[in-house]
Structures are given as structure tokens and as C-alpha cells.
Amino acid sequence: MAQTDGPEAEPGAPARTATAPALPATSYGALLDVIRSRPGLTRGQLLAATGMSRTTLFARLEVLFRAGYVYQDGSAPAGSGDERRPGRRSELLRWDTRDKVALVLDLGQTRARVCMTSVGGQVLRVREVSADIHINPGEYLATIFDIADVLVRAGTDETLVGVAVGIPAPINPLTGGLGATTSMMAPWERYPLLDVLRERWHVPAVIENDARAFALGEASVLGPGRAVLAIKYATGIGAGIVDAGHVLEGADGAAGDIGHVRISDDGPLCTCGRHGCLASWASGQALIRDLQGTGVRNLWDIVDRVSAGDPLVCDAVDEAAARLSRVLSTVVAAANPDALVLGGVLGRMPRVVSTVEEHIREDVAERARHRLRVSAAHLGADGGVIGLSRKLVDLVYAPTAIDRAILGEHESAAGQA
């Protein structure tokens, strides 16, 4: 989002980027951006924050009111110095998120969470299903979309503002579409997922790598200005790095793909076709493979066996976590994060968190981990959902998007006159 001359953003407000193209202070979108970042401003405070003329500000606000982007919510406290005239206090202006919702599809390799969230990121309705993503995209998505339609229709007096999808694959930073992946079948790489989403629900859509979405969600609760390394450890292993609200995507959209770092010259065959990758040694899929002789069938069996103190499973998890730590130590030394957050079915286990923390504190120089805090996911299984919701909202309410929407409506109305 473009920077404005408005007040400082409150904690948890959408991140601003210094590299975004500048917008004029009179832009509808830039004005809404100020209101989003500081809820409860009065017209007088907006005049001071933006430097706009009274006439221009009031005209812009009137358009934002009619378009449903802003509403009045009570009056400024008495004595605030912003009374419009004696005996009458000024109204507080807020970004209108009432009854506006987002559809979020957090797709993992073996399970999917289909959610409706508020624009503020609150999970309203959720359905979690077992769904193997290693099949043709059309077949897989037909099931997911049917569930999504049910959740969308379940709401009353709601306005769907967009759809966000998290998926275990690189995301092309130029097109926003899927990149080359070893986690899913080849047809996924050519599948026009963004177009399909837009055509089905007729709203804006965004796709993000599932681990990076998880990182965005976790960073949102840790506060602005933090450097966060988040690991999704489940069937596969993925990472996301968020620094001051910005997620690292990489040149090819593959930032965080640590599961395919080779940690040995030989070893088990990986899904990428090579031997000795971290995922082939330590992923949930690898643990299930190695423990199938003990009756382990899925990740939840592993969690249950660890909780019960099964020595064979505990030893296998400890060894896997130690291998994961070897790669994470390098990432921690390179990124120097404030927080290392472990999520996913396996990552949230206390045994994994403590093992990873122990190894990193042994392997990384103190100056690169002095402020580091290692923890399980603060949002539980909802981290990816919250991250996707925030990414979608920043897309839909970006100043340039608001300007396009309002100017498009004006042009349409003029054409019909």
C-alpha cells in the first residue's frame, strides 16, 4: 500500500510499503488508507492528517460513504477540540467492514480448511476435510468448491469481497499464479486457478504459498516491525519469512522451500527426484513411511503415539526434529529473526518445539539468536487462514484498487446517463 501523510498506523494495522507507487493525497484510496490505519478519526483530524481542502475532503468522503467503504460511528469525546460548532461534537469515521466477508481455502497436501472470515480476520465458519491434493486439479477443486459454496450461502446479509487460496506450491511473483511444484501433479502448474476463482465467485482472488500464508498470520499477532521465521511442519516442510509485515517471495516465488535442501549425499528418494533432501528424511510423509511397521498410518497417529510416550515414535520424531533444526539453524543465522514459530500438525507438538530450540541454541552463534524466541503457533491451525485473509484484504482495499473501483463506477454511471 502507498504511504500517506496520515497518523502513524496502530499496532496490527495493514503494513505499508515504501516501494509502492505514490498516490495523490486527494485519492479516494489514499484517503481510505488513512481511515483504515487510524480508526475513529474525525473530519477535522483527517483535514490535518492529509492536508486536503475541506471541500475536497468532504466530496471524497461522500463518495466513500455511498460506496460503502466508510461509515460514521458515534461522536468524538467532549473537549477533543474538534467540535464542528458549539454544542455539537464531530462524528468518528471508520472503515466499513460490517457484514463484509472473505472466503479462504487453506489447502494442504492431505487436508483442507475451508473458511469464511470477517474482513478483520475473524474466523466465522469453518469446515475441515481430508483431501489428497495429489490428484487432478479439476477433480480436487470440485469437492473443495462445493464445500465453499455451502459456507458462502450459510451467511445472511453478507457481502463477499474476495477469495484467497493457500497451496503447497511456489507462487509466481509476476503473475500471481502457480509455479513449478514437486508437491502436486504436473497439471496443477498449467491450471488457471486465479481465473477459475474469479469466474466462479465474481470477486477478486489471490493465491499464496501455504507456509508463507502461515507466516503472515503468525506475524500479524506478534506485532509490527518484527522479523518472523515460521515453519509449517506437517506432511511436508515449508517456511515463510516476514520482516516488518512483508513476506519474502523470492525471484521465482519459491522462498521458504526448505524441504528440498539436501542434507546428505545419499538417503531416501524425495518427491523432487533427488536423494537426501530434508523432506525425504524428516517430513511427516517420511515419518509415516519409516513408522508404518509400528502401525502408524497418518500424522495424527504420530501425535497420539508421542503423547502416549511411545519410545519408537518419540525417537523417530526427535531425530526428524534434529535434522530439521540443522537446516533451520542456517536460516536463523542468515535471517536473524525475532521469532521462530512452529506450526503444522507436527510442528505444534511441544516435543518438536523444545528439540528445535535446543539444537538452534547449540548451533547458532549467540549474536544471531540473542533476541530469538522459539514457540508453537500462536494461532493454532488458523495461522494460514488469518494470513490469507489479511493478504486478500490488502489486495482488495489497496489504494489503487479502491480508485479503480470508484472511478469505474463513475464511468459506468456516466455512460448510462
CATH code for the part of the protein at 100-210 = 3.30.420.40
Q: Please report the pLDDT score of residue 177 as a whole number.
A: 85
Q: Please report the pLDDT score of residue 15 as a whole number.
A: 40
- Give the Cα separation of 122 and 385 in Å (integer): 9
Kindly indicate the confidence band of residue 262, based on its pLDDT and cuts at 50, 70 and 90: very high
Give ∠ CA 389-395-397 in degrees, rounded to 5. 95
Q: Please report the pLDDT score of residue 144 as a whole number.
A: 97
Q: Please report the pLDDT score of residue 90 as a whole number.
A: 80
pLDDT average, residue stretch 151-174: 93
CA distances from 134 to 56, 129, 180, 408 (A): 55, 15, 14, 41
pLDDT of 176 above 60: yes
Of 92-106, 182-196, 336-350, where does mean pLDDT reach its minimum?
182-196
Cα Dmax for the chain = 81
C-alpha cell at 229: 521465521
Kindly indicate the confidence band of residue 410, based on its pLDDT and cuts at 50, 70 and 90: low
Domain with CATH 1.10.10.10 in the chain: 1-96
Which pLDDT tens digit goes with each residue over 19-45?
Answer: 444 445 569 999 999 999 888 899 999
Q: Please report the pLDDT score of residue 174 as a whole number.
A: 84
Which pLDDT tens digit goes with each residue over 287-303?
Answer: 999 999 999 999 999 99
Q: Is 163 helix (H, G, I), strand (E, B) or coil?
A: strand
Q: How does the average pLDDT of the chain come out, rounded?
A: 88
- Give the Cα separation of 113 and 129 in Å (integer): 7
- Give the Cα separation of 61 and 67 in Å (integer): 10
- Give the Cα separation of 184 and 264 in Å (integer): 24
Which pLDDT tens digit goes with each residue over 41-84?
Answer: 999 999 998 889 999 999 999 999 999 999 998 776 655 555 45
- Give the Cα separation of 30 and 69 in Å (integer): 12
Kindly indicate the confidence band of residue 89, based on its pLDDT and cuts at 50, 70 and 90: low
pLDDT average, residue stretch 104-123: 95
Q: Please report the pLDDT score of residue 371 as a whole number.
A: 93
> β-pairing, 339-343 with 227-233?
parallel
- Give the Cα separation of 189 and 117 in Å (integer): 28
Domain with CATH 3.30.420.40 in the chain: 100-210, 213-383
- Give the Cα separation of 61 and 70 in Å (integer): 8
Q: Please report the pLDDT score of residue 91 as a whole number.
A: 87
Q: Please report the pLDDT score of residue 13 as a whole number.
A: 36
Q: Which position has the higher pLDDT, 407 or 352?
A: 352
CA distances from 188 to 131, 172, 221 (A): 15, 13, 32
pLDDT of 127 above 80: yes
CATH code for the part of the protein at 1-96 = 1.10.10.10
Q: Please report the pLDDT score of residue 82 as a whole number.
A: 56
Which helix (H) or strand (E) is 227 found in, with range?
strand 227-233
Q: Please report the pLDDT score of residue 282 as a whole number.
A: 97
- Give me the percent of the chain exceeding a pLDDT of 90: 73
Q: Which position has the higher pLDDT, 22 or 349?
A: 349
Beta carbons within 8 Å of 343's beta carbon, 6+ residues apart: 214, 218, 230, 231, 232, 233, 376, 377, 379, 383, 384
Q: Which CATH superfamily is domain 213-383 in?
A: ATPase, nucleotide binding domain (3.30.420.40)
pLDDT average, residue stretch 120-140: 93
| Number of CB atoms found within 10 A of residue 118's CB | 17
> β-pairing, 70-75 with 91-95?
antiparallel
